[in-house]
Structure formats: C-alpha cells, structure tokens
C-alpha cells in the first residue's frame, strides 16, 4: 500500500463515527467535536457516519474520513490491514500511558520455529481476564478474524456469552477471571 496523497483541505477534519447516521452517537460526536474546534487556527471537525468500525476504516482509506475511534480489536485490524496508525493514546495523572501487555506461556517443547497459533487448539488456557484487551479481545479477535473460532448464532447455552462459548469450544479448558463472582470457563 502506498502512502496516501492528501488532496483536500485538512482545516475541516472528518471524524468517522462507527455507527449509523440516525444513531445518537453521531449527535454526541457533533456536540463533542464542536468543543474541540480550534477556530483561532481555522480548524473544525465534522462528524460523518461510517456504519461500523470497518466502514470507518474503508472511509479513511478512500479519503472520505480522516480519523475515528476504535476498540483494541479493531485497532489491530486497522493497523494490520489498512496500515492505519494510532494518533493518540490514554495518559493518566501519573504521566504513564495506558499499556495492556499480554504474555503467553507454553511448554518449551512447543517453542519451535514452525509453531503456529493453531497448535494450541484443545490445550488448557488461562487468561488475564474475561473481556480484557490483551488477554481476551486481541487474541480472540485475531482467532475469529483468522476463522479459528466462530461466534455462535444463537447456539450458545443460556447464560453463556457467545465469545466465551466459542473460546470454550476451541480450548480443552479455559479459565478467565470475570467481573462477576466467578471465572468464565
């Protein structure tokens, strides 16, 4: 992919909202972005509806939007597929930026030059936490994108989240702390 050539005036930044035009998110974006306008420099923000995170990625690639907000799973896809890079990150009062690192621990015998992510199928898994960015969303987002797991369409047992069910079907056992009283798995 070649570096894009910007041919339009960037004094009006197009903020893509990953929702439909009728959604309240578009109105919320318009309200928030009007506060971000820097009229002294002639910079304004206009919110446009992308329909979905991937719709916003397509709009950015086509030049119909400039920026968007994505969750971590969609960020991975945007970086990997579209070469869209993060513009900002969270910084907390202590000056540290937000980082959520993940670690995979496997038996030494699995550490070969040709090991694949699919080699862990039917193994036991212990995650950092149900729904956590690095220990749940990123690895299982990748697995879903690669077709390794499939989210059920109404097949998950009552009371079981579809993503937890799909992960449980892939691994022999899964343990992941959840916000509730017990572990998912």
Give the rounded distance of the alpha carbon of 9 from its chain centre.
29
Nearest partner of 36 among 17, 13, 53, 63, judged by Cα: 13
The reported pLDDT for the residue numbered 178 is 66
The CATH classification number of 108-184 equals: 3.40.190.10
CATH 2.40.50.100 fits 12-82, yes or no: no
DSSP notation for 4-65: PPP-S-TTEEEEEESS-TTSHHHHHHHHHHHHH-BTTTTBEEEEEE-SSHHHHHHHHHHTS-
Residue 154's Cβ-side half-sphere holds a number of Cα atoms within 13 Å equal to 0
**pTM listed for this prediction:** 0.51
Q: What is the pLDDT of residues 132-159, one digit of tens each?
A: 776 787 778 778 888 888 877 766 677 7
| Surface-to-core class of residue 31, CB atoms within 10 Å of its CB (0-12 exposed, 13-18 middle, 19+ buried) | exposed
Question: Identical fold at 12-82 and 108-184?
Answer: yes
**Which pLDDT belongs to residue 112?**
67
Q: What percent of the chain has pLDDT over 70?
A: 70
What are 91-136's pLDDT values in tens digits?
Answer: 556 665 555 545 555 666 666 667 777 788 888 887 777 777 767 8
Domain ranges of the chain: 12-82, 108-184
Record the tokens describing residue 48, joined without a space. Answer: 């446009």
Alpha carbon distance 63, 89 (integer Å): 23
Q: What is the pLDDT of residue 50?
A: 92
């Amino acid at each position: 992919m070649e570096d894009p050539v910007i041919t339009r005036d960037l004094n009006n930044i197009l903020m893509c909202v990953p929702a439909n035009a009728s959604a309240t998110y578009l109105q919320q974006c318009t309200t928030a972005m009007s506060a971000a306008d820097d009229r002294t420099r002639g910079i304004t923000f206009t919110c446009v509806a992308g329909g979905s995170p991937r719709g916003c990625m397509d709009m950015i690639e086509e030049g119909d939007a400039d920026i968007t907000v994505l969750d971590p799973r969609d960020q991975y896809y945007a970086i990997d597929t579209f070469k869209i890079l993060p513009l900002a990150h969270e910084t907390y009062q202590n000056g540290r930026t937000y980082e959520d690192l993940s670690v995979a621990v496997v038996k030494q015998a699995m550490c070969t030059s040709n090991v694949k992510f699919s080699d862990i199928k039917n193994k036991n898994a212990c995650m950092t936490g149900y729904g956590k960015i690095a220990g749940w969303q990123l690895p299982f987002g990748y697995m879903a994108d690669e077709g390794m797991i499939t989210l059920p369409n109404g097949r998950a047992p009552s009371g079981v989240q579809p993503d937890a069910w799909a992960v449980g079907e892939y691994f022999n056992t899964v343990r992941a702390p959840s916000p509730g009283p017990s572990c998912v798995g």
